[in-house]
């Protein structure tokens, strides 16, 4: 359907814009927990009116549950870990590994909703490519002279971030299956839980009020997520397969950010880095094979 394709393109655009915005913020001196708190409260506030309209609590309950779990994964994995990786390492590969968390919902879809049929060989090869991308990223030491070099510390943290990303995206997919009519309840619960966790971190660290850069980037990213998450859940609720939605919405930002990182941000990857990136993109394309 043309309408579904347009929604898919809008998600790719929004998810790509989000990364340079966050990179600008973390390298401009923003504190991850502070910008994350702004993102979370803006997302929850924008999603709340539509979430309230679901009306039947039993229909929203699964979305609230999965959204709460995703909120923990988002606060810890994305805000505290992936933001840190954007600060200490290259943007393109950071986006790649974070977005490869999409292998989790696709694996859930293959196992839980395969109805006893064996997944195509291309999907297994795709999973192997994703695994190779993760291993190569962990082994990579970066290209000499790059302003954001790959280091052992970055590799360790980005792989931990991948695990949390998988949990978050897995919850997103399950919410679309168990609560298809509560697309806005998921980002609402995610935003509330992550805000409370990040607010606690801010209090412990005595951060004080958010800075201007944190407010600007946080409001922008929060608005993006409040729009992109419900659109993704809407597509997953029987309109498109997870093996199509996730590869497209993941591959688009990855490819665009690798190009932006190389051409605009002057990030230089060595042969291992480019091989890892190519393996990741190949895995995504194979997982979408039909």
More confident residue, 273 or 231: 231
- pTM of the full predicted structure? 0.77
Band (57; pLDDT cuts 50, 70, 90): low
226 close to 107: Cβ distance less than 8 angstroms: no
Tokens of 263: 């051409």
What's the CA gap between 103 and 101, in Å, rounded? 5
| Helix (H/G/I), strand (E/B), else coil: 120 | coil
pLDDT tens digits, one per residue of 131-179: 777 667 655 555 555 555 667 888 889 889 999 999 998 998 899 888 8
Quickly list H helices, the chain: 2-26, 32-52, 57-73, 83-88, 91-99, 103-112, 121-139, 152-178, 185-204, 212-236, 242-263, 271-287
Least confident of 62-76, 140-154, 188-202: 140-154
For 40-72, b/e burial (b = at least 16 CB within 10 A) is: bbbbbbbbbebbeebeeeeebebbbbbbbbbbb
| Helix (H/G/I), strand (E/B), else coil: 252 | helix
47: nearest Cα among 153, 148, 192:
192
| pLDDT (0 to 100) of residue 163 | 93
| pLDDT (0 to 100) of residue 149 | 64
pLDDT tens digits, one per residue of 96-130: 788 778 778 877 777 765 555 666 777 778 777 77
| pLDDT (0 to 100) of residue 60 | 82
148: nearest Cα among 91, 95, 89:
89
């Amino acid at each position: 359907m043309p309408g579904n394709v347009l929604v898919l393109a809008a998600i790719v655009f929004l998810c790509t814009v989000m990364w340079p915005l966050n990179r600008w913020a973390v390298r401009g001196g923003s504190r991850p927990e502070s910008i994350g708190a702004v993102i979370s409260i803006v997302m929850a506030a924008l999603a709340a009116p539509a979430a309230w309209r679901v009306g039947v609590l039993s229909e929203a309950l699964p979305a609230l549950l999965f959204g709460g779990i995703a909120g923990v994964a988002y606060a810890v994995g994305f805000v505290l870990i992936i933001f840190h990786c954007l600060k200490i390492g290259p943007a393109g590969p950071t986006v790649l590994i974070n977005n490869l968390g999409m292998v989790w919902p696709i694996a859930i879809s293959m196992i839980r909703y395969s109805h006893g049929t064996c997944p195509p060989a291309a999907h297994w090869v795709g999973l192997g490519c994703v695994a190779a991308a993760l291993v190569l990223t962990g082994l990579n030491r970066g290209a000499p002279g790059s302003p954001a070099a790959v280091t052992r510390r970055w590799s360790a943290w980005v792989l931990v971030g991948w695990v949390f990303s998988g949990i978050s995206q897995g919850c997103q997919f399950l919410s679309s299956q168990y609560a298809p009519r509560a697309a806005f309840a998921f980002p609402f619960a995610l935003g509330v839980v992550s805000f409370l966790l990040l607010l606690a971190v801010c209090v412990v660290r005595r951060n004080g009020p958010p800075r201007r850069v944190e407010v600007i980037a946080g409001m922008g990213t929060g608005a993006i997520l409040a729009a992109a998450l419900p659109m993704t859940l809407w597509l997953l609720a029987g309109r498109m397969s997870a093996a199509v939605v996730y590869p497209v919405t993941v591959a688009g930002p990855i490819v665009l950010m690798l190009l932006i990182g190389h051409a605009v941000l002057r990030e230089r990857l060595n042969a291992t880095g480019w091989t890892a990136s190519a393996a990741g993109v190949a895995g995504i394309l194979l997982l979408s094979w039909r």
